[in-house]
Structure 1
Amino acid sequence: MSSTNEPTGAQKNGVPMTGKPTSVGQQVLDKGAQMLQSFKPINNMSQHACTFALYSQDMTRQIETHHFVTRVNQDFLQAAVYDSDDSNARLIGVEYIVSDAIFETLPPGEQKFWHSHAYEIKSGLWIHPRMPEMIVMPELKNLAKTYGKFWCTWQTDRGDKLPIGPPSLMMSPQSEGIGVVKPELVKKRDDNYKLSKDDLVKSRVEIAEPEWINPTADYWRQHKKCFEVDIESTEIKTHTDYK
């Protein structure tokens, strides 16, 4: 619980937070709600994955991400994305993950927003913290054939105290050029979880490469273009517009 003596603007993961400290009365109310209310969607989260993501509009900006995943069915996952796995982690976005079978049903215009996961898995960038590799290996093999669409809503890496502006489309790390994750980010993550990316690569060598990675995904690789959301003013629709 937060202390009532905590100063306004306290640091959370290195970024000053806005707002007043949580009062004792509010803390009691929140604890009571936790005991009495249903949290079924959250309780269905079954995996914690840690990986890295790159901003589509500026791939020199790279962040460590923590995905708390709910399995909707065998072909579809949804994840709440945080900037850490600490109790005070900030919710920075959402990712949807689909199998290759579902991805191939999407129109090409939609497929451009998605990224492949094969390299993340094979390269040891995607991990399930504190889970033995042999336990998660079947899931890793499945994930290597999936595609994700990740929208970042809170750009904490640039020091934003609140979610500011439109969401940013995020890209998956790749093996070449501007898609390569900075080594210092990987080392920091590996040191935190006491693991080695190089060892993970060796343990995953037998994970089969997908027979087909749709080239429309990871759009930037072939077209050297990105997608950036902009906000524009528009007329409000009324019920008469639907007649």
Structure 2
Amino acid sequence: MASTTKGHEQVPPGEPMTIGQHMLDKGAQMMQSLKPIKQMNQHVCTFAMYSHDMSRQIETHHYVTRVNQDFLQCAVYDSDESNGRLIGVEYILSDRIFESLPQEEQKLWHSHAHEIKSGLWVNPRVPEMVIRPELENLTKTYGKFWCTWQTDRGDKLPIGPPSLMMSPQPVDLGIVKIGLVKKRDDKYNLSTDTMKTVRTDLSEPTRLNPMADYWVKHGKGFAIDVDDVEMKKIAPFP
């Protein structure tokens, strides 16, 4: 089956949905609770970079569920349109919880302080004064973002192992391309530079953990490979 194109966006190969499928989906939606999805109460637009190739930068759309004051979980899409593709998942921890992780685990996480204070992290169409208390919390958090579908390289399906993503940082490799930011700002009629100015007094962690944003100090990213391993088998029943 050939893939189809909507605008400049490639959609997965497959036949169009039938009327029967639409009716089934609508009926299921009316009868099922879909409780986990209904807990998503924030939309965040920001940018991310591949840990193994920092030159690849993407705009991301996080649909956020706050589980408690120390833990959030996000479904990540490549756009906020109805045909947006689910490209990964990000988990977000408070600095208190992050500090309790083993150092080898901390290497996989990135800080959010710069991303937020620089105005790159936005909640589209939500006034800054409304979201301000949440930003105060989020500047002191760390995230782990796995990308499972590399749509930026033209993949029509989720191919290969997941890729670890990193957050923008105030260093050469961590600066988001001007064109990407302008495109986002124009879409939502906002100014990243203005938000950066009004966010200068947002608090940050007392000490950014040196194991987070590991690539900044060590120049090394992380890539996942797939290995064949011996399968653990279930013992036969007596």
> What is the identity, as a one-letter code, of the residue corresponding to 1:217?
A
CA distance in 1, matches of 2:64, 2:193: 25
| 1:158 to 1:175, Cα distance in 2 relative to 1, 3 A | same
> What is the identity, as a one-letter code, of the residue corresponding to 1:199?
T
User: Match for 1:189 among 184, 203, 208?
Assistant: 184
Residues 177-222 of structure 1: CA deviation (Å, up to 9, x unaligned): 1111101000000000000011101111111232110010000011
- Aligned identity (percent) is 65
Contact 2:60/2:77 (8 A) holds in 1: yes
Contact 1:53/1:173 (8 A) holds in 2: yes
CA distance in 1, matches of 2:135, 2:168: 16
User: Match for 1:146 among 137, 141, 144?
Assistant: 141
| 1:108 to 1:186, Cα distance in 2 relative to 1, 3 A | same
CA distance in 2, matches of 1:234, 1:187: 46
Contact 1:83/1:89 (8 A) holds in 2: yes
RMSD between superposed Cα atoms in Å: 1.2
Residues 1-243 of structure 1 mapped to structure 2, 5 A cutoff: 9-11=4-6, 14-240=9-235
TM (normalized to structure 2)? 0.96
CA distance in 2, matches of 1:235, 1:176: 42
CA distance in 2, matches of 1:47, 1:98: 16
CA distance in 2, matches of 1:8, 1:69: 30
Q: Which runs of 5+ in 1 are unaligned?
A: 1-6
1:217 partner SS? coil
TM (normalized to structure 1)? 0.94
Contact 2:76/2:87 (8 A) holds in 1: yes
> What is the identity, as a one-letter code, of the residue corresponding to 1:238?
K
Residues 15-40 of structure 1: CA deviation (Å, up to 9, x unaligned): 24310000111111111111111100
Contact 2:3/2:10 (8 A) holds in 1: no
> What is the identity, as a one-letter code, of the residue corresponding to 2:138?
L
Contact 1:8/1:21 (8 A) holds in 2: no
Q: Which runs of 5+ in 2 are unaligned?
A: none
Contact 1:48/1:67 (8 A) holds in 2: yes
2:41 partner SS? strand
1:45 partner SS? coil
> What is the identity, as a one-letter code, of the residue corresponding to 1:99?
S
Contact 2:95/2:205 (8 A) holds in 1: no
Runs of 4+ in 1 over 3 A off after TM superposition: none
Residues 58-88 of structure 1: CA deviation (Å, up to 9, x unaligned): 0000000000000110000000000011111
CA distance in 1, matches of 2:182, 2:224: 31
Alpha-carbon deviation of 1:11?
Answer: 2.4
Alpha-carbon deviation of 1:13?
Answer: 5.6
CA distance in 1, matches of 2:178, 2:59: 12
Contact 1:12/1:88 (8 A) holds in 2: no
The count of residues paired between Structure 1 and Structure 2 equals 234
CA distance in 2, matches of 1:131, 1:12: 28
CA distance in 1, matches of 2:96, 2:74: 19
